[in-house]
């Protein structure tokens, strides 16, 4: 969190936070009901946390695990977010 700028950056694992359209976000075949409920709860909690911050005037940015591989693009996006 960058309190002075009222900006928050979340780093989400693709599996744990169900990154849309990401192969790493698939649901395991064993105990599928358990995993689906657990992971959907994570997504709902993320939405509530982000909405709460934004309702209080904060800007938020989510970095997905799979995006970390391209360091140059990630650096550029984060700097752009922080400079706004």
Indicate if the pLDDT at residue 84 is higher than 90: no
Cβ contact 24:65 at 8 Å: yes
What's the CA gap between 66 and 48, in Å, rounded? 23
Cβ-based neighbour number of residue 51 at 10 Å:
11
Q: Which of 12, 23, 15 is nearest to 61 (CA)?
A: 12
- Residues 29-75 have pLDDT tens digits of 999 999 999 999 999 999 999 999 999 999 999 999 999 999 999 99
The pLDDT of residue 1: 79
Kindly list the domain boundaries of the chain, sorted by start residue.
Answer: 3-83
Paired tokens of 78:
């984060």
Fold of the domain built from segment(s) 3-83: Endonuclease; Chain A (3.40.960)
The Cα 44–Cα 50 span in angstroms is 10
Tokens 């169900």 belong to which residue? 18
């Amino acid at each position: 969190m960058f309190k002075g700028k009222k900006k928050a950056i979340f780093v989400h694992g693709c599996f744990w936070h169900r990154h849309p359209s990401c192969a790493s976000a698939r649901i395991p075949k064993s105990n599928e009901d358990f995993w689906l409920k657990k992971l959907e709860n994570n997504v709902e909690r993320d939405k509530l946390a982000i909405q709460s911050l934004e309702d209080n005037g904060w800007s938020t940015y989510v970095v997905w695990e799979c995006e970390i591989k391209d360091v140059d693009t990630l650096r550029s996006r984060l700097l752009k977010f922080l400079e706004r």
